[in-house]
């Protein structure tokens, strides 16, 4: 096999590995994002639950007001974690997009090179046919 073809195939294998790694990273950060969203939903549910307990008379307003800053802080922290996780997901998506683009570019270069090689081979074969035809005409005095 031609050294250039080997190099291009090695590059494609490398790019495929990068795509696989980018996919794995995206899956990891999406799982983290989902966990952050669950934590936020839980914190919001906790606030609603505490509000219900007060309205139902199971908890005093004083206890609720004591708890409220803690509950709001938990919601705010969870919201920040969701935003950070979304940013990480966006970055991972961009990384996957770039890795896919690099793979497609390497595959396109290899495909172009192979096509050029096929064209060179076809020209070489045609030249051989033409040369043989000239020799045959020369031997038989044709044309």
CATH number of the domain residue 120 falls in: 1.10.287
Let me know if 36 is exposed, middle or buried by CB neighbors in 10 A (0-12, 13-18, 19+). buried
The structure tokens listed for 51 are 């509000």
Domain count for the chain, please give it.
1
Range of the domain at 74: 3-140
pLDDT tens sequence for the chain (143 residues): 799 999 999 999 999 999 999 999 999 999 999 999 999 999 999 999 999 999 999 999 999 999 999 999 999 999 999 999 999 999 999 999 999 999 999 999 999 999 999 999 999 999 999 999 888 888 777 76
- How far are the Cα atoms of 11, 44, 77, 89, 126 from residue 32, in angstroms, in the given order? 31, 18, 15, 9, 61
- Give the pTM: 0.78
């Amino acid at each position: 096999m031609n050294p250039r073809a080997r190099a291009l195939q090695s590059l494609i294998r490398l790019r495929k590995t990068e795509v696989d790694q980018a996919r794995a990273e995206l899956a990891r950060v999406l799982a983290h994002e989902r966990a952050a969203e669950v934590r936020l939903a839980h914190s919001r549910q906790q606030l609603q639950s505490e509000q219900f307990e007060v309205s139902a008379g199971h908890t005093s307003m004083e206890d609720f007001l004591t708890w409220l800053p803690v509950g709001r802080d938990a919601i705010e922290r969870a919201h920040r974690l969701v935003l950070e996780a979304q940013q990480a997901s966006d970055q991972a998506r961009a990384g996957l997009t770039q890795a896919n683009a690099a793979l497609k570019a390497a595959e396109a270069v290899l495909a172009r090179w192979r096509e050029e090689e096929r064209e060179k081979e076809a020209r070489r074969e045609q030249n051989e046919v033409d040369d043989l035809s000239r020799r045959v005409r020369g031997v038989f005095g044709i044309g």
